[in-house]
Amino acid sequence: MEERKRILYVEDDFNNRILVGRVLQAAGYEILEAEDGLTGIRMAQETKPDLILMDINMPGLDGYAAATKIKSLPGLSGTPVIAVTANVMAGDRERALTAGCDGYLPKPIDVDTLPNQVREFLGGRRETVDEDQERGFLREFSERLVASLEEKIEELTTANEQLKRSDVMKSRFIAVAAHELRTPLTVIRGYVDILVSVNRSSPKTDSNTVMMLEGIATGVKRLHEIVQDMLDVTHIEAGTLQLQVVPLSLSSIITQVADSYRDSLARRQLTLTQEPLTHLPSIWGDNVRLQQVFKNLIGNAIKFTPDGGSITISGRKLGQEAHLIVPGRLQGQNFIQVTVADTGVGIDPAEHEHIFERFYEVRDPSFHGSTSKTDFMGGGAGLGLSIARGVTEAHEGWIWAESEGYDSEHCPGSRFHVILPVGDAPKR
């Protein structure tokens, strides 16, 4: 039995697609449909149809351009493309043939003759245009393409300017919101802390009241941290992050940070192993800011590792090979690399760079079920890694992520590497 011929119909009008689809299906053809030029090109590549019916007047990429592109694709140059158009202007047929079409069917489609015409084109019928006419239409065709290219570039330039403007507005909003929130929050935090300590030690206050006050204090502290993160992001973006640079040992910074998580690690039954880092040379850096980097990394390792897992921190000295590991980003001769590895859910390789963007979270934030920063898969504002990168860059270093992928069942784990230069004080 003869195999059913496959026809791709590229047409933006739904009713036409239904009509032509039915007629050709009834005539024994398999019909594929694309509703615009770009989809038509993609489907032509993927499905390699026996014939393409191409509507000419479509928004976006029109049928002439789609036909030209399809004819240039490997494996499709011999596939008949038949223009279908409601244009009744003189030269429409020639225009379509010049663009690469092999035939022309005027709209409205004559449903009685359509199956026959399709059969003829499938059987080898080809329409041609004479050379002189073709030359004229080719020029007109290129002029039209250039005009539409110009229009698209203008549209893109305007859209790009609008995007830049809204990015500036967004940054301004973050800066203003963070500044305005910080002052009242500091006042609230101060009073709440006083209330907690007074009521904790007062025999007159019942335990429920103390518990509620402690709850308020925890919430206010978290809010304060988020606002502080927003301010840090603002400074990083504006290049105004101030570093208090002193010679320091990363080993003691990491030990301090790890200690600060002791309760959370115990609660989540996580093992944190810190390999000896004392052999690492001291570096020039900002103690508080570098603590912030490792706080975020270890905090995330806790957050994204299921109970019972492990976190390992290791470090090594690097020479010139650092430039091979992070091409084009580092300056200098000597570096140290610290790695925070976990046995957690891992990160899809497609997300490895995005997670360093401001407010970026792989999961939908509406799934945040918890407010604690160290609960498994607890929520966050998506600022930790962008701050970590900003701080590392301000130290003329780099931070990046490695993971085989995201798998909450088998937990492939993630590794976050920080490289920092050993040598002179950073210039900023």
- Residue 377, by phi and psi: left (phi above 0), alpha (psi -120 to 50) or beta? left
Q: What share of the chain is helix, strand, coil (3-state, %, to 5)?
A: 50, 15, 35
Residue among 41 and 381 whose Cβ is closer to ligand ADP = 381
Shortest Å distance, C-beta 411 to ligand ADP: 10
The total number of residues shown for the chain amounts to 428
Q: Does 102 bind ligand ADP (CB under 6 A)?
A: no
Shortest Å distance, C-beta 301 to ligand ADP: 5
Q: Does 381 bind ligand ADP (CB under 6 A)?
A: yes
Residue among 135 and 363 whose Cβ is closer to ligand ADP = 363
Shortest Å distance, C-beta 317 to ligand ADP: 24
Q: Of 109-117, 245-253, 329-337, 380-388, which segment contacts ligand ADP by CB under 6 A?
A: 380-388
The alpha carbon of residue 291 and the mean position of all alpha carbons in its chain are separated, in whole angstroms, by 28
Burial class (CB in 10 A: 0-12, 13-18, 19+), 115: middle
Q: Does 300 bind ligand ADP (CB under 6 A)?
A: yes
Q: Which of 32, 51, 84, 301 binds ligand ADP (CB under 6 A)?
A: 301
Shortest Å distance, C-beta 315 to ligand ADP: 18
Q: Does 286 bind ligand ADP (CB under 6 A)?
A: no
Q: 87 with 127: CB under 8 angstroms? A: no
Burial class (CB in 10 A: 0-12, 13-18, 19+), 348: middle
Shortest Å distance, C-beta 382 to ligand ADP: 4
Q: Does 98 bind ligand ADP (CB under 6 A)?
A: no
HSE of 74, CA atoms in CB hemisphere, 13 A: 0
Residue among 75 and 367 whose Cβ is closer to ligand ADP = 367
Q: Does 264 bind ligand ADP (CB under 6 A)?
A: no
Buried b (16+ CB within 10 A) or exposed e, 287-307: bebbbbbbbbbbbbbbbbbbe
In angstroms, how far is the first alpha carbon of the chain from the final one? 77
- 3-class DSSP assignment, residue 71: helix
Shortest Å distance, C-beta 355 to ligand ADP: 4
Using only C-alpha atoms, what is the Rg of the chain? 32
Q: Of 172-180, 207-215, 300-308, 417-425, which segment contacts ligand ADP by CB under 6 A?
A: 300-308
**What is the bridge-based pairing of β-strands 81-85 and 51-55?**
parallel
Residues that bind ligand ADP (CB under 6 A): 296, 300-301, 304, 342, 344-345, 347, 355, 360-363, 380-386, 414
